[in-house]
């Protein structure tokens, strides 16, 4: 019975793959014939890498945009994880004020369009708060090695304030969703686990640290991986404030070259490679945590 079912699922997968290939072929046919579009794939590689007389082959606009997307997503996630953990703990607190505080943050951020948040935080943080810190001026007077490190890990000094505002915006937005993942993970741990730990004389924070959160974390890996992928995709929103990430570079190239389909198909492939890599790593981590300790 089981091999028969596997055969049927294999046939269904094959049929879906063929259907997808037919759809892609039809899409290409309509573009080529219906729109009389002339493909120019041969020019795309020069927008990925270019040859510099002094440095040799170096990344060009699209790869530079991809690197900025990776940095933006990485720092946003690094900041969103503790924010989400705190929001989840507040949502599961025994104190009413903490639960109201966590619920207000999660409800407010989850029910506002991210584009609106980008503009609000950009004009507030980048124009009102960051100039008071004089980050750009302090970085300009810092040692050269520190400037190079900051540009490697972040962006160029002229983009730094907008980049920080974008990171904070994405972190707060994604942190609200991570907070719900943490809440669901904590509530998913059986009540008997709490009771057994409390019977041993452990305080609530000890139960959370040593019993509940380790079990909840394993259950949270798939949704957290999905949220990491969402962060990568949501990072495209900050192109509206001129952060030179992948989508922004694509729009600039499309406006300059009119290679609409070639550029956006290339950008789609780059996003897919990045997000699929995150999914693969999350899957490997989940399998590793499921293995029994030897």
Domains and CATH numbers, the chain: 62-290 (1.10.3720.10)
Nearest to 166 by CA among 176, 154, 177: 154
Chain-centroid distance of CA 213 in Å reads 23
165-187, pLDDT tens digit by residue?
Answer: 889 889 999 999 999 999 999 98
Bridge-based pairing state of the strands 49-52 and 56-59: antiparallel
Phi, psi of 238 (to 5 degrees): -75, 0
CA distance 179 to 98: 13
Q: How is residue 254 written in tokens?
A: 């499309």
Q: Which pTM does this prediction carry?
A: 0.82
Confidence of residue 292 (pLDDT cuts 50, 70, 90): low
- The band of 293, judged by pLDDT with boundaries at 50, 70 and 90, is very low
Q: What is the pLDDT of residues 185-217, one digit of tens each?
A: 998 888 888 888 888 888 888 888 888 888 888
């Amino acid at each position: 019975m089981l091999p028969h079912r596997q055969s049927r699922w294999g046939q269904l997968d094959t049929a879906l793959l063929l259907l997808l290939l037919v759809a892609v072929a039809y899409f290409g046919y309509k573009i080529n014939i219906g729109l009389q579009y002339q493909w120019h794939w041969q020019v795309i590689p020069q927008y990925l890498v270019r040859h510099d007389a002094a440095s040799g082959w170096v990344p060009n606009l699209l790869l530079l945009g991809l690197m900025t997307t990776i940095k933006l997503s990485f720092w946003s996630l690094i900041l969103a994880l503790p924010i989400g953990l705190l929001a989840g703990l507040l949502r599961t607190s025994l104190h009413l004020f903490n639960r109201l505080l966590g619920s207000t943050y999660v409800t407010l951020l989850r029910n506002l369009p991210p584009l609106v948040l980008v503009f609000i935080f950009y004009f507030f943080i980048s124009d009102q708060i960051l100039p008071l810190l004089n980050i750009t001026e302090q970085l300009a007077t810092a040692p050269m090695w520190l400037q190079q490190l900051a540009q490697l890990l972040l962006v160029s000094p002229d983009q730094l304030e907008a980049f920080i505002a974008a990171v904070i915006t994405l972190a707060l937005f994604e942190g609200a969703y991570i907070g719900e993942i943490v809440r669901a993970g904590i509530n998913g741990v059986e009540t008997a686990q709490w009771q057994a730990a409390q019977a041993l004389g452990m305080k609530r924070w000890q139960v959370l640290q040593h019993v509940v959160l380790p079990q909840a974390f394993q259950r949270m890996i798939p949704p957290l991986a999905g949220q990491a992928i969402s962060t990568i995709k949501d990072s495209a929103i900050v192109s509206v404030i001129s952060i030179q990430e992948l989508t922004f570079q694509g729009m600039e190239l499309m406006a300059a070259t009119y290679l609409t389909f070639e550029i956006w198909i290339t950008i789609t492939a780059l996003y897919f490679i990045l997000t699929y890599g995150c999914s693969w790593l999350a899957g490997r981590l989940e399998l590793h945590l499921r293995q029994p300790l030897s």
